[in-house]
Structure 1
Amino acid sequence: MDLTAIRDRATTTYRTRRDQAVDLVERTPVLGRLVSEFVRIEFIDRCMLIAAQGLLALIPMLVVLTAFLPHLSGDAVHTFSHAAGVGGDGTKLIEGQVSSDQVRTQTGIIGLLITIFSATSFARAVQRMYERIWEVPHVGGISGARRCLLWLLGWLMTLQLAGALRRIADGLGGLLGDGAAFVVQVVLLTIIWWATSWVLLFGRVAWSRLLLGAVLTGAIGVSYNRGSSWLMPPYVHANAEQFGTLGVILAISTWLIGFAAVLVGSALVGRIVSEDPTVTRVVGSAWRAVGRAAPRRAG
């Protein structure tokens, strides 16, 4: 066996495939810009930061809110657990480690307020992600903290609404019910993240430019959540058996990284595609064609 010849062939093949990939990127403007923008925003770092803030700030807030306000926040926790695929095993394991009475006793009202305010770090991570993607200056200070806090509270309310809609959809059943539930969830999630991007960007980017990213977030996000409800429970169960509570936390962190990738990727692709000249020209032509056809139908 001639190892030198094998190594030379492998090197030649690698260089050929690399040159082909570079040529494809250069000949496809959207693809080339996507690659450069993913590098510019530091895609992996953004995903890890959002996931870390979700694990360290958002989840403790949900646990504390459930202890203090079970009727107001229970649906939010169940919605998150269902989306992450934690399942009954993971939920029981966590509940077995800490009780609501214990949380209320050890936290107190001051601790509750501090926990909620600390959870705004998750909102700030999402805010910085949108600002990095759209290349606008960061808004911090009291104004930024207040906006992040208000968004966080609104987001919790929408989780409550999503939980109620999920119960209604589960009651419908059947293929038609599943299809209707999917469409409703996509529309709801699109509206949530459309409003989220506009609010956290302080209205510095037009609604129309944010729409495609929100639609992608809604469609991919719902698909990701539904896939997680099938794939995550066995993974959580295996981790719980092997590592206990730590295993559940590791599983949730894995889900959060994937969820963050959906947020960051959808927002970035939405901007790049919506700003592409070819896409803009095609969409403009379609709108003009619709505008010309409408008067003829009315006549």
Structure 2
Amino acid sequence: MQPRKRAASGKPTRAASRATRWRTRSRNATVAARRLQRRAETRFPVITHIAERMVSVNIFDSATRLAAQCFLTAVPLVFVVASLAPEGVRKQMAASIRAVFGLSGAASDQVQAVFNSSDKELQSAVSVVGSVMVLLSATAVSRAMQRLCKRAWEIPRSGVRIAVWRWLAWIAGWICLLVVQEPVRSGFGVGLWLGIPLTFAFQAVVWWWTQHLLLGRLVPWLPLLPGALLTAGAMSALSVTAVFYMPRALNRALGEYGSAGSVFVLLSWLIVLCVAVACGITIGAVLAQEPFLARRLGSPLPDPQAPRPD
């Protein structure tokens, strides 16, 4: 009986020793991680600056708001433009929308059916729904994008004096740019080997112009270039990914849930795109304000005593 008691009494001792070892290892790992973090912050301060700026920008919240405004604004604007544009422009817009989202199958057929409607049908739809939505929310997406750029560059709210025409000009510019998306992505008929570089260059120019326009020339052209290049790279990569993901997701959603399912898929993809935009502009602003690039680009340095943007 005595050996059994010793064996029984030995079990809690081994369990306690294992728990002690795990706690010790956990504490050692935590200390090592903090030491590694401090070392990384010392050697690569830009990582810390990027993390702090992304927290202040509130990337996911800003991107979600921007995606919602894009969805609410883009749909009525597309109907308005389609109802007023000539047939050739309407067909080109439909082709660009299919190219941007990589649509095929049932989703592509639905888009084509909308743009194949007669002028009277489109004008009737716009007069009931689209016109009211355009009047109420035409500049909402411009204001959301302006707030994102302002937060990325840590420009206080009182520091921005932007004219309303800039919001309208940005919307008009993007409508025009949407029309030419399909020929740019196809390399004007040459193929993807030319279309992908053209798409990157096209996106870089667009996002360079977007920041300059919506910031009201508070930041010079050159410091905006890193953010434009990063955003263009992210958007170009996602445009290639969309061809593999969006057709399957949209067709499956249409088959299982109808039009409501396609709305959720489209909004989810818009959130992904807006997260890429928010990260690209924010990281680009931080890199442009680092001493190495700031001296060469003439970037405005962040003022630590300035009030934070809302």
Residue 228 of structure 1 corresponds to: 242
For 1:113 and 1:139, locate their aligned partners in 2 and report how far apart those are by CA, in whole Å.
Answer: 31
**Is the radius of gyration larger for structure 1 or structure 2?**
2
Stretch deviating more after TM superposition (28-37 or 110-119): 110-119
**Residue matched to 2:3:** none
Q: In structure 2, which of residues 157, 181, 189 is the aligned counterpart of residue 171 of structure 1?
A: 189
User: What residue in structure 1 maps to residue 57 of structure 2?
Assistant: 41
What TM-score, normalized to structure 2? 0.77
Q: Which residue of 1 aligns with 2:179?
A: 160
CA 1:110–1:254: 2 relative to 1, 3 Å: closer
Structure 2 residue aligned with 1:183, among 189, 193, 197? 197
1:229-278 deviations in Å (ceiling 9; x for gaps): 12221122222222111111111111111110111111111111122124
1:96: how far off?
A: 6.5
Question: 2:276: which partner in 1?
Answer: 262
Query: What CA RMSD, in Å, does the superposition of the two structures yield over aligned residues?
Result: 3.3
Among 101, 120, 144, the residue aligned to 1:84: 101
User: Does structure 2 retain, via aligned residues, the 8 Å contact 1:86–1:248?
Assistant: no
1:149 equivalent to 2:168? Answer: yes
Distance 1:273 1:240 in 2: 42
Q: What is residue 253 of structure 1 aligned with on the other side?
A: 267
Please list, as runs of the form range in 1=range in 2, the aligned pairs for 1:1-299 lying within 5 A after superposition. 2=15, 5=19, 8=23, 11-12=26-27, 15-16=30-31, 18-20=33-35, 22-27=37-42, 28-69=44-85, 70-93=87-110, 101-108=120-127, 111-112=130-131, 115=134, 118-138=137-157, 144-167=163-186, 169=187, 171-173=189-191, 178-280=192-294
AA partner of residue 123 (structure 1): S
Percentage of identical aligned residues: 22
Change (3 A) 1:83 1:20: farther
Per-residue CA deviations over 1:49-92 (Å, capped at 9, x if unaligned) read 11111112212321342244254354344323322234332233
The structural deviation recorded for 1:140 is 11
User: Using the alignment, how far apart are the partners of 2:259 and 2:123 within structure 1?
Assistant: 21
Per-residue CA shift, 1:89-131, capped at 9, x if unaligned? 2233466699565442143299537526623211111111101
SS of 1:203's partner is coil
How many residues align structurally? 278
Give unmatched runs, 5+ long, in structure 1: 285-299
Contact 1:53–1:125 (8 Å) recurs in 2: yes
8 A contact 1:194–1:214 mirrored in 2 = yes
- Structure 2 residue runs of 5 or longer lacking an equivalent are 1-13, 298-310
